[in-house]
Structure 1
Amino acid sequence: MSGKDVIDVQRFLNEHPFSRLQWLIFAMCFVIVVLDGFDTAAVGFIAPSLIAEWHVQKSSLGPVLSAALFGLAFGAIVSGPLSDRWGRRGLLIGSVALFGVASLACVLAGSLTQLTVLRFVTGVGLGAAMPNAVTLVGEYCPDRRRATLVNLMFCGFPLGAAVGGFLAAWMIPQFGWRSVLVLGGVVPLVLAAILLAVLPESVRYLVAKGKPAERIRDVLRRISPDAATIQAFTLREAAAGPARKSDMRLVLSGSYIVGSLMLWITYFMGLVIFYGLINWMPVLFKEAGFSAGQSTLLSALFPLGGVGAVVCGMLMDRFNATKVVAGCYALTALSVYAIGQSLGSVGALIGAILVAGVLMNTAQCSMPALAAAFYPTQGRATGVAWMLGVGRFGGIAGSFLVAELSLRHLSLEGIFSVVAVAGVISCVALLVKVAACRDIPVVQPVEGEPVHPGH
């Protein structure tokens, strides 16, 4: 059998132009991330209407606001091993359908308890969808463009939250708060039907699991006609795991456990910063003497920095990706600290918030690409999902941290200084990952034999 009859599937992706199929996969996963951002933030958009219609206290909304975050963590942690065992496609379609149905069910909720339960279920679907979208896009990307495209996809999350805010501001006065949940349910269900019709399974997953060569060839022919003459496929990993290990056994194996823990710590601390500030900055700035309107506008500057992730992705594709992201977290810590030192000048405060938002969102949006590049195919979905799942608890911790600091009457400068420490911890954790994981083999076959017809 000639060399042209057997080909490494990643080499095939590297050597051919980015096809319409790959752009289609990217576009569908980008929409999933946009919907994730929209639905995650939806309950915040409707909160004032809930207070008015159901005559509840603001403090009573705590469980509703946090339910989706717990669901996100649970969905991410559970979906990763299932995806590595059963495939990316089915889990992705099922999770999109789940959060669509759950969002529609929220429309029928008649109490905070019912809404809390349904928001948790919505979060489970959202949490399962995100890591599978990241994994699928990453496994269809050529090596030289993976970080750029995954980071670009993750820009959809703040975009979804921002667009959702504008739509909610228009829809709620016109159609009521339930219309936001209807939109957040109908669109995912339509998308799930489209995914069912056109979305292929990850070709790298098919090879790693030894699926029939005919099935792999059919997918690759949609990328390039050159695949028609290939008789067998193999897969070699840029960072391979211990032979025959999969799921959590690989993620927590001797070669990967330190890197996994450092990724979890990094993402956790990043969300401590993000949710701690995004949830509390309006209150903190109002206490600093700004009006309610000024406080809201100042706080809205923080999540606008996701576009910086594209530039970071380009740097990650050219240089040591872990060190690039570590640098972003170090600069995030400095800029968050600068917010607390700039309260006396509106111009300096605006600049500090914008810079902090760009750096924070850039670092956080770059983490899924970093994790996807760290793990081999047989444990990639699990590795990415557990990082995202464990990290979600950082969002919960960040909100409670700032609340506790406020109760202890710490100064605003002190609060921002404490939150900035989380950025330092993230930076240090990534540098530890660099030092501890430098000995992982660069190239090692994931399967001992190529996939032949009929296997």
Structure 2
Amino acid sequence: MTPRTLITRSRPVAAPAADRRRAWLVTAMIVAFMVVNYADKSVLGLAAVPVMTELGLSNSTYGLISSSFFFLFSVAGLLVGFLSTRISSRVLLFVMTVLWAVAQLPVLLVASVPTLMAGRILLGAAEGPAASMSMHALYKWFPPERRALPSALQIGGAALGTLIAAPVVTWLIDGFGWRSAYAVLAAVSALWALLWWRVGHDGPYDHERTATGPGGPRLPYRRILLTGTVLGSIASAFGAAWALSLSHAWLPAYFRTQLDMSAAASATAISVISGFGLVLLLGVCPFVDALKSRGVSSRWSSGAAQSVAVVLAGCAMTAFPFVDATGPRLVLVACAFGGTAVAVPLHYMTTAEVVPPAQRGAVFGIVAGVGTLPGLVAPFLTGHLIDTAQTPAAGYTTAFVAAGAVMLTAGAFALTAIRPERDARRIAQEAGSRPPA
């Protein structure tokens, strides 16, 4: 038995038909999980204008409230990642969604800056591990060679969440007041938690069958995290997260205050951008699988795809503030905010290729925690730039150009650093020299 088999794993035996049906049921539940996740996350941005008007908030204060979502986001992702090695995905996802429901309640009691921040901080802590842990739960139901489509569907749930949330939440806000959106999302989160408790179970690929038995060898986390592939995957996630955090916090307000869109038109534009991201996900991820089946390396399939997506989105982010024509500008906005969608599932895939299975959940938590740090900075920085610029338009321009520069840098680094085959080979050799954990 060669060391390589410790990491890449022999081809698993085909799962029974009942397991395959359960796998797709769990996939459907996780897609719904991501839909609710992104609806919860986007509600403040969609309600930004009425909330700021009612409470008399400055752009900086609103930006601080938006950034507060990420105060515990990364820390929670890290902690829950390590807990995932001891606690089942069923329990973790159930607790998260119960907390999502609870987080919507403070603002229903008293609408103020402290309650808005308290709710966002709790929601951020509960959503910090959501993407990584739901992907980890999904991987327990599919072998490595069948993960691209489920991964795309999982992240597609995020795009679908924004696509659905934008018109529905906007309708609730316009028709029944912005508090109604919080109440409905609390109920939806609680309903998902109850359904998941009935149908959510860990799958047959829980720790994947390796040559050394369940779990396999363990390596120092520093050794894993300092590989080029993991660092590059974090970089692509970082660039994508910068655009995503701006999209949730400021894009609805930008459409309404700078492009003079109505609430309905703004919601439609956001839905179109999310739909564009969803189409990319469902098109690119299966294409990546097809490339791999034809012998194309992961570096040039999943690695290059996520890196180039972030670079191209960064170029669009830098360009659109300087385009006056409405049509071309909206096309560039869609590319800037929707084009990074493919980076999210692919950075998990490239990370998974070099991580010992027993440590995958913890590493996913670390990658997600570091990769989403822009959410702590970008919304507040943007609000500060808008308040201190000569005009709000100039502030938005500076913020978007800065975002584009971050994305270009992150994408270029990821393109040079992600080399899964090389790093998996090195880690496998080191794992082979260690006794099983």
| TM-score, with length taken from structure 1 | 0.76
The answer to whether the Cα contact below 8 Å between 1:312 and 1:366 also exists between their aligned partners in 2 is no
The answer to whether the Cα contact below 8 Å between 1:298 and 1:350 also exists between their aligned partners in 2 is no
| Deviations 1:239-270 (CA, angstroms, capped at 9, x unpaired) | x998234xxx43x2257544333322321222
| Deviations 1:368-427 (CA, angstroms, capped at 9, x unpaired) | 344344423212112222222222221333334545665466697776544322232222
* Unaligned stretches of 5+ residues in structure 1: 1-7, 209-233, 450-455
Larger radius of gyration: 1
1:15 is displaced (CA, Å) by 9.0
> Which whole-Å CA distance do the structure 2 matches of 1:305 and 1:357 have between them?
10
Aligned residues, how many?
A: 408
Q: 2:312 maps to what in 1? A: 331
Residue 270 (structure 1) aligned with residue 240 (structure 2): yes
Q: 2:218 maps to what in 1? A: 244
Structure 1 residues 371 and 360: alpha-carbon distance in aligned structure 2, compared to 1, 3 A threshold: same
Structure 1 residues 9 and 181: alpha-carbon distance in aligned structure 2, compared to 1, 3 A threshold: farther
The answer to whether the Cα contact below 8 Å between 2:246 and 2:379 also exists between their aligned partners in 1 is yes
Q: 1:235 maps to what in 2? A: 210
Alignment partner of 2:351 out of 350, 356, 371: 371
1:16 is displaced (CA, Å) by 6.9
Q: 1:360 maps to what in 2? A: 340
Structure 1 residues 58 and 12: alpha-carbon distance in aligned structure 2, compared to 1, 3 A threshold: same
1:115 is displaced (CA, Å) by 3.0
> Which whole-Å CA distance do the structure 2 matches of 1:117 and 1:389 have between them?
20
Query: Aligned AA for 1:244?
Result: R
**Where in structure 2 are the equivalents of 1:182-197 lying within 5 Å?**
182-197=183-198
> Which whole-Å CA distance do the structure 2 matches of 1:137 and 1:106 have between them?
33
Structure 1 residues 377 and 104: alpha-carbon distance in aligned structure 2, compared to 1, 3 A threshold: farther
Residue 259 (structure 1) aligned with residue 229 (structure 2): yes
| Deviations 1:82-103 (CA, angstroms, capped at 9, x unpaired) | 1123232221221122212222
> Which whole-Å CA distance do the structure 2 matches of 1:285 and 1:25 have between them?
36
1:180 is displaced (CA, Å) by 1.6
Q: 2:324 maps to what in 1? A: 344
1:161 is displaced (CA, Å) by 2.4
Query: Aligned AA for 1:345?
Result: A
> Which whole-Å CA distance do the structure 2 matches of 1:315 and 1:117 have between them?
42
| Deviations 1:109-156 (CA, angstroms, capped at 9, x unpaired) | 453213311321122112233221111112312333312221221111
Residue 420 (structure 1) aligned with residue 400 (structure 2): no
Q: Which moved more, 1:82-91 or 1:436-445?
A: 436-445
Task: Provide the aligned C-alpha RMSD in A.
Answer: 3.7
| TM-score, with length taken from structure 2 | 0.79
Q: 2:295 maps to what in 1? A: none
Aligned-pair identity (%):
19
> Which whole-Å CA distance do the structure 2 matches of 1:325 and 1:86 have between them?
31
**Greater relative contact order (CA < 8 Å, ≥ 6 in sequence):** 2
Structure 1 residues 270 and 401: alpha-carbon distance in aligned structure 2, compared to 1, 3 A threshold: farther
Alignment partner of 1:305 out of 276, 281, 301: 276
> Which whole-Å CA distance do the structure 1 matches of 2:118 and 2:397 have between them?
37
The answer to whether the Cα contact below 8 Å between 2:385 and 2:399 also exists between their aligned partners in 1 is yes
> Which whole-Å CA distance do the structure 2 matches of 1:372 and 1:54 have between them?
45
Q: Which moved more, 1:435-444 or 1:366-375?
A: 435-444
The answer to whether the Cα contact below 8 Å between 2:159 and 2:275 also exists between their aligned partners in 1 is yes
Q: Which moved more, 1:183-192 or 1:359-368?
A: 359-368
> Which whole-Å CA distance do the structure 2 matches of 1:235 and 1:153 have between them?
25
1:283 is displaced (CA, Å) by 6.5
> Which whole-Å CA distance do the structure 2 matches of 1:194 and 1:253 have between them?
39
* Unaligned stretches of 5+ residues in structure 2: 1-8, 292-297
1:18 is displaced (CA, Å) by 7.4
1:201 is displaced (CA, Å) by 1.9
The answer to whether the Cα contact below 8 Å between 2:233 and 2:414 also exists between their aligned partners in 1 is yes
The answer to whether the Cα contact below 8 Å between 2:63 and 2:383 also exists between their aligned partners in 1 is no
Structure 1 residues 253 and 109: alpha-carbon distance in aligned structure 2, compared to 1, 3 A threshold: farther
1:40 is displaced (CA, Å) by 0.5
SS of the equivalent of 1:12 reads coil
The answer to whether the Cα contact below 8 Å between 1:278 and 1:302 also exists between their aligned partners in 2 is no
SS of the equivalent of 1:85 reads coil
> Which whole-Å CA distance do the structure 1 matches of 2:49 and 2:398 have between them?
30
